[in-house]
Chains A and B, each alone.
Chain A
Amino acid sequence: MSASELDLAGRVVELVAGLAGPDAQAEVTVGRAELALTRFANSAIHQNVAESAVEVRLRLHVEGRTAAGSASTATADGLRTLVERVLVAARITPPDPAWPGLAPPAPVAPSAEWDAGIAYAEPADRAALVRAFVDAADGLTTAGYCRTAVRTAAFANSAGHAARGRTAEAAMDGIARAGGVDGTARHSVDRLADLDGAALGRRAAAKARAAADPVELPPGRYPVVLEPAAVADLLQNLAWYGFNGKRYAERQSFAVPGVAQLDPAVTLVDDPLRGAGLPFDLEGTPTRALTLVDAGTTRAVAHDRRSAAATGAESTGHAGVGSSTFGPVPHHLRLAPAGAANPTASTPTVSPYGAAADADTAALVSRMGRGLLVSDFWYTRVLEPKSLVITGLTRNGVWLVEDGRITRAVRDLRFTESYPRALGPGSVLEVGRRTARQPDGLDGVWWDAPSLRLASWNFTGGASG
Chain B
Amino acid sequence: MSEFDAAAAAVQAALDTGARYADARVMHRRYESMSARNGEVEALTQDESVGLGVRALVGSSWGFHAVPELSDRAARDAGHRAARTAAASALVPGPQVDLVPVDPVVASWSSPCEVDPLGVSLAVKGDLLVAATATMAGHGADLAEGLYQVWDTAKWFVSSEGHRIDQHIRECGAGIAATSIGDGETQRRSWPSYRGQYGTTGWELVESLELTAHAARIAEESRELLTAPLCPTGETDLILGGEQLALQIHESVGHAIELDRILGWEAAFAGTSWLDLAQLGSLRYGSDLMNITIDPTIPGALGSFGYDDEGSPAVKRHAVRDGRWVGVLAGRDSAAVAGLDHGGSVRADGWARLPMVRMTNVGLEPGPHTLEEIVAATDNGVLMDVNRSWSIDDKRLNFQFGCEIGWEIRNGRRVRMLRNPTYTGIGPLFWRSMDMLSSEIVSWGTPNCGKGQPGQVGHTGHPAAPARFRNVRLGVRA
A residues near B (Cβ < 8 Å) are: 35, 37-54, 66-73, 82, 85-86, 89-90, 92-98, 122-124, 126-128, 130-131, 134, 141, 143-145, 147, 173-175, 177, 182, 184, 250-252, 324-325, 378-387, 389, 391-393, 395, 412, 414, 416-418, 421, 441-443, 458, 460-461, 463-465
Contact = CB atoms under 8 A, between A and B. Distances in A.
Given A40-B92, A73-B50, A93-B123, A392 B268 contact: no
A385 B280 CA distance: 41
Contacts of B352: 51, 53
Contacts of B263: 42
Q: Which of B81, B352, B397 has the most CB of A within 10 A?
A: B352
Interface string B20-37: 000000000000001100
B86 A48 contact: yes
B65 A383 contact: no
B121 A92 contact: yes
B398 to A, nearest CB: 6
Given A39-B453, A54-B68, A252-B143, A127 B44 contact: no
Given A389-B477, A391-B476, A460-B400, 12 more contacts: A41-B268, A48-B62, A50-B65, A51-B66, A53-B66, A70-B49, A94-B41, A94-B130, A145-B269, A379-B391, A379-B394, A389-B478
Of A67, A72, A173, A441, the most chain B CB neighbours within 10 A belong to: A72
A94 B64 contact: no
Interface stretch (B178-186, B285-293, B304-312): B178-186
B264 A42 contact: yes
Interface in B264-280: 264-269, 271
A124 B88 contact: yes
B358 interface: no
A392 B390 CA distance: 9
A48 to B, nearest CB: 5
Interface stretch (B214-222, B366-374, B424-432): B424-432
A127 B264 contact: no
Contact of B267 (A41, A72, A134): A41
Given A89-B44, A416-B477, A383 B267 contact: no
Contact of A46 (B62, B185, B390): B62
A20 to B, nearest CB: 16
B393 A41 contact: no
A98 B35 CA distance: 14
Interface residues of B, number: 84
Contacts of A46: 62, 89, 94, 265
Contacts of A54: 68
Which 10 pairs between the two chains have the least Cβ-Cβ distance? A44-B94, A123-B88, A143-B268, A45-B89, A127-B91, A69-B46, A72-B49, A49-B64, A143-B267, A92-B122
B424 A461 contact: yes
B390 A72 contact: no
A381 B389 contact: yes
Contacts of B397: 463
A252 B181 contact: yes
Contacts of B85: 48-50, 123
Contact of B393 (A70, A379, A382): A379
11 contacts: A42-B265, A68-B43, A93-B41, A127-B88, A127-B92, A131-B91, A384-B186, A391-B476, A414-B391, A414-B398, A463-B397
Contacts of B398: 393, 412, 414, 461, 463, 465
B142 interface: yes
B402 interface: yes
Contact of A392 (B179, B265, B391): B391
A94 B40 contact: yes
A52 B66 contact: yes
A142 to B, nearest CB: 8
B389 A465 contact: no
A391 B400 contact: yes
Interface string B452-478: 011100000000000000000100111
B477 A383 contact: yes
A28 to B, nearest CB: 14
A66 B126 CA distance: 12
B89 A50 contact: no
Given A72-B68, A384-B420, A387-B184, A47 B48 contact: no
Nearest to B251: A379
Contact of A45 (B61, B121, B420): B61
B284 interface: no
Contact of A379 (B65, B268, B392, B477): B392
Given A42-B94, A395-B394, A465-B473, A324 B453 contact: no
A417 B473 CA distance: 18
B388 interface: yes
Contact of A93 (B86, B122, B181): B122
Given A92-B122, A465-B425, A69 B47 contact: yes
Contacts of A442: 455
Contact of B61 (A48, A141, A418): A48
B180 to A, nearest CB: 11
B68 A53 contact: yes
A141 B455 contact: no
A69 B43 CA distance: 11
Contacts of A89: 44, 46, 122
Contacts of A174: 268
B65 A71 contact: no
Contact of A50 (B61, B64, B266): B64
Contacts of A443: 454
B64 A52 contact: no
B470 to A, nearest CB: 14
A67 B61 contact: no
Contacts of B478: 383, 387, 389, 416-418, 421, 458
B209 interface: no
A144 B400 contact: no
B51 to A, nearest CB: 6
Contacts of B476: 391, 416, 460-461
Interface in B61-82: 61-69, 81
A110 B266 CA distance: 39
B453 A41 contact: no
Contacts of B429: 465
Interface in B396-445: 397-398, 400, 402, 420, 422, 424-426, 429
- Among A37, A38, A54, A379, max chain B CB count under 10 A is at A379
Given A93-B123, A143-B267, A124 B43 contact: no
A380 B127 contact: no
B422 to A, nearest CB: 7
Given A39-B453, A86-B46, A89-B122, A134 B400 contact: no
Contacts of A412: 393, 398
Contacts of A72: 48-51, 68
A383 B264 contact: no
B95 interface: yes
A37 B184 contact: no
A51 B394 CA distance: 28
Nearest to B430: A465
Contacts of B426: 464-465
Contacts of B453: 37, 39, 47, 145, 147, 441
B49 to A, nearest CB: 4
